[in-house]
Structures are given as structure tokens and as C-alpha cells.
């Protein structure tokens, strides 16, 4: 195919200010080049970090902002140097659309840790244009940051895997926890947490969901597939579970104490932070020292890990638990997400929505 040269316009739903209310917004897509892929958006998941961004919770938001970084779409056209994709392919675009390609993280397939990474929205691309996300009719992305969706995987099922799925898969693999027989805890049963249960179970782990109340106990055990459910306010059960976990994946996106969960880890256990929290967290050092425990973090995953994770989910038959909505419901979906009223991920049917009513 010839390289893409002409600019195009598209319509997305954008927040104009920190109210976070989205409405139709027509804008020009960035200049495209020989390694770019022009994609018609089919569906896009709604992540908790989208809520943080549209409401400027982290103090870094730029408006107008079209959110959405769990994008599944169909390739409409490819640049002259694109080798990985063809017109008609179903592809995914996640949280990143650019990196420097020369630093150590970039050279070691850890581009998500590049200090010059470019976010898929609320950022500025190399040409100076603002990046906009997947709550839109179309987008343009460099082929490096596009992945093929495995044949047979439903669009709406694939979307949350591009963030929630790889966010869990990456640290389990990186820290050598992708072996059977381990005991893991998942703190928080939301979009990331429910995929954590599914992926860890598929790796052969004994998985306990840890929550502040028993409200989600039935869901965790009967619907998501956890082995056990632990209420963090139950002092007796927490004491019984002390020193029993190889790792805990902490998905809670608000300030919370770490000490109760550090006590659950056995020797060399890892507390892996994944929630985006804009305030300090506290712990006492003996809880880490007396057990050689680690508090660490992990951020989405590399493009290589994303491809591996998609194949893993296809091989294991893993799916995300979703609620599909149209774009005109997106503001209500954000309100419900803020109240944790979703099981477990909203996915916008972009292709089936009227983007400019």
C-alpha cells in the first residue's frame, strides 16, 4: 500500500474540563507516515485511569481530551513500510503510541518504562499534535504499538485485555511468578483484579481475592473462579492467612494501608502495586525486613508481552467479564465506574454508536 499522506478528521467524545463530561468533538488526526496504520475503532474499554484523566485527578490533564486506551479496531489502510498488518486485520492499540527507541528500556522490550514514552491520549505526538484515544471513529498509530487480535477472539472481549490483561500478565512473568503451584492474592476485584484472578488461575495458582467486605464473595468464588475469599477487616482470618502468599497483586486505586497485606506474604513475597494513587502510602520497615519482602510496582506491559498475553488468553480460553454500552451512555458509565458499579469492565461499542447525534 502507498504511504498515508493526507490528514483526516474524525469525531470522538471528549472531555472539555475537569467535570469529566464527554460530548462529541471533531478533530484532525495527526499526520500519518509510512509506518502508520489507519484504524476504524470497533470497541474500546473504559479503565479507571480514564476516569482519573478526564477529571484531572492527577493534575496533568489537557483538554479537549478524547480518552480510551483499550482499543480494538479494523485496519483500513497501511503505510508503505508497514509489514505486520494488512487491510481488514483486527488489531489492538493500548496505552502507548510512541517511545524514543534508543534508551535501555526501549532496547530491552520494556518500552513502557521509556522516559519519553507517548501516551495514546492526553499527550503530544512527535509532530506536535495532541494524541487522542479510542472513544472515536478512527485513529492512526505506528505499527510498533499495534497488535494483532487473535482470530476468533471477540472484539469487545479483547479490548480490556489490552490494559487490564497485560497489566497483570507482565509482573507475573517478569518476577518469575508464571509457574504453577504458587499461592497468590488479588487485592480488589475490579477490572484489573478480575483478570488477575483468571490469569493467575490459568497459570496454576491457588488464588485468594482480598476485599474490605464480603459483598463480592459470591462473585469472586462462583463467577470469577477464585479459590478463597478473605475479608481484610476479619482479624481472625487475616491472622490465619499470615505468611501464606507468594505474592499479592494490589489493584486498589485509592489510599489504603499496606501493613495488613505485607503480613500475609511469606519469605521473599512480593506486594505488587498497580493502582494509580496520587498520595503517599505508608508501611513500617520491619514488615519488609523481617521476611525479605518486597514492595514493588508494575506498569501495563511491553508490546511483546501484550502479544504473548493475547495468545495466552486465547490458548486458555480466558475472557473478561464486561458490560457493553453505546457511546451515548459513556457519561453514565463513568459515574457508575466511580461508584464501583460495574462487573467488571465497561466496553464501548464504538462502531455501533452514533458518535455525532
pLDDT in tens, 98-120: 999 999 999 999 999 999 999 99
**Alpha-helical regions (H) of the chain:** 48-54, 104-107, 155-160, 166-174, 191-202, 217-218, 235-240, 259-262, 286-289, 303-316, 330-338
| Percentage of residues in the chain having pLDDT higher than 90 | 91
**Alpha-helical regions (H) of 8-110:** 48-54, 104-107
Architecture of domain 9-163+320-349: Alpha-Beta Complex (3.90)
Q: What would the mean pLDDT of 194-209 be, rounded to a whole number? A: 98
**Residue keyed to cell 501464606:** 244
Which helix (DSSP H) or strand (DSSP E) does residue 307 occupy?
helix 303-316
Torsion, CA 339, CA 353, CA 29, CA 20, rounded to 10: -20
Q: What would the mean pLDDT of 180-204 be, rounded to a whole number? A: 96
The rounded distance, in Å, linking the Cα atoms of 304 and 52 is 27
The rounded distance, in Å, linking the Cα atoms of 91 and 208 is 33
* Domain ranges (residues) in the chain: 9-163+320-349, 167-297
The overall pTM is greater than 0.75? yes
- Supply the DSSP symbol for 111: G
Which helix (DSSP H) or strand (DSSP E) does residue 22 occupy?
strand 22-28
Counts for the chain of helices (H) and strands (E), in that order: 11, 17
Report pLDDT for 273: 98
Report pLDDT for 333: 98
pLDDT higher for 31 or 53?
A: 53
**156 φ/ψ angles, rounded to the nearest 5 degrees:** -70, -25
Give Cα separations from 104 to 145, 175, 319 (angstroms).
Answer: 18, 19, 34
Cell of 10: 474524525
Indicate if 167-297 has the same CATH topology as 9-163+320-349.
Answer: no
When pLDDT is cut at 50, 70 and 90, the band that residue 87 belongs to is very high
**Residue keyed to cell 455501533:** 352
The CATH number corresponding to 167-297 among 3.90.1150.10, 1.10.3720.10, 3.40.50.300, 3.40.50.720 equals 3.40.50.720
Report pLDDT for 6: 57
Please determine, for residue 165, whether its predicted confidence score (pLDDT) is greater than 70. Answer: yes
Is the alpha carbon torsion for 172, 177, 181, 182 positive or negative?
negative
Cβ atoms within 10 A of the Cβ of 178, count?
18
Report pLDDT for 277: 87
Report pLDDT for 2: 45
The rounded distance, in Å, linking the Cα atoms of 38 and 138 is 7
Q: Residue 289 class from Cβ within 10 Å (0-12 exposed, 13-18 middle, 19+ buried)?
A: exposed
Please determine, for residue 352, whether its predicted confidence score (pLDDT) is greater than 70. Answer: yes
Report pLDDT for 127: 86
Q: What would the mean pLDDT of 115-144 be, rounded to a whole number? A: 96
Amino acid at each position: 500500500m502507498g504511504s498515508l499522506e493526507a490528514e483526516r478528521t474524525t469525531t470522538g467524545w471528549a472531555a472539555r474540563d475537569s467535570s469529566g463530561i464527554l460530548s462529541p468533538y471533531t478533530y484532525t488526526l495527526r499526520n500519518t507516515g509510512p509506518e502508520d496504520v489507519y484504524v476504524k475503532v470497533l470497541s474500546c474499554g473504559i479503565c479507571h485511569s480514564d476516569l482519573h484523566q478526564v477529571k484531572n485527578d492527577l493534575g496533568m490533564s489537557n483538554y479537549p481530551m478524547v480518552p480510551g486506551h483499550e482499543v480494538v479496531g479494523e485496519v483500513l489502510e497501511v503505510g508503505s513500510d508497514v509489514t505486520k498488518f494488512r487491510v481488514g486485520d483486527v488489531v489492538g492499540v493500548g496505552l502507548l503510541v510512541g517511545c524514543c527507541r534508543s534508551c535501555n528500556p526501549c532496547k530491552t522490550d520494556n518500552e513502557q518504562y521509556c522516559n519519553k514514552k507517548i501516551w495514546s491520549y492526553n499527550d503530544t505526538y512527535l509532530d506536535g499534535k495532541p494524541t487522542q484515544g479510542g472513544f472515536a471513529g478512527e485513529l492512526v498509530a505506528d505499527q510498533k504499538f499495534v497488535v494483532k487480535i487473535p482470530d476468533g477472539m471477540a472484539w469487545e472481549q479483547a479490548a480490556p485485555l489490552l490494559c487490564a490483561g497485560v497489566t497483570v500478565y507482565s509482573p507475573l512473568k517478569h518476577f518469575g511468578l508464571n509457574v504453577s503451584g504458587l499461592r497468590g492474592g488479588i487485592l480488589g476485584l475490579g477490572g484489573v483484579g478480575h483478570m488477575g484472578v483468571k490469569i493467575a488461575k490459568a497459570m496454576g495458582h491457588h488464588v485468594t481475592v482480598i476485599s474490605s467486605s464480603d459483598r463480592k464473595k459470591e462473585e469472586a468464588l462462583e463467577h470469577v473462579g477464585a479459590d478463597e475469599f478473605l475479608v481484610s477487616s476479619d482479624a481472625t482470618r487475616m491472622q490465619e492467612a499470615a505468611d501464606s502468599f507468594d505474592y499479592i497483586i494490589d489493584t486498589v486505586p485509592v489510599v489504603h494501608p499496606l501493613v495488613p497485606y505485607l503480613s500475609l506474604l511469606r519469605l521473599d513475597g512480593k506486594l505488587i502495586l498497580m493502582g494509580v494513587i496520587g498520595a503517599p502510602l505508608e508501611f513500617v520497615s520491619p514488615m519488609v525486613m523481617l521476611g525479605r519482602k518486597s514492595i514493588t510496582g508494575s506498569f501495563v506491559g511491553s508490546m511483546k508481552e501484550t502479544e504473548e498475553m493475547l495468545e495466552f488468553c486465547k490458548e486458555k480460553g480466558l475472557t473478561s467479564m464486561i458490560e457493553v454500552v453505546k457511546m451515548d451512555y459513556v457519561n453514565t458509565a463513568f459515574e457508575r465506574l466511580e461508584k464501583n458499579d460495574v462487573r467488571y469492565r465497561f466496553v464501548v461499542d464504538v462502531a455501533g454508536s452514533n458518535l455525532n447525534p
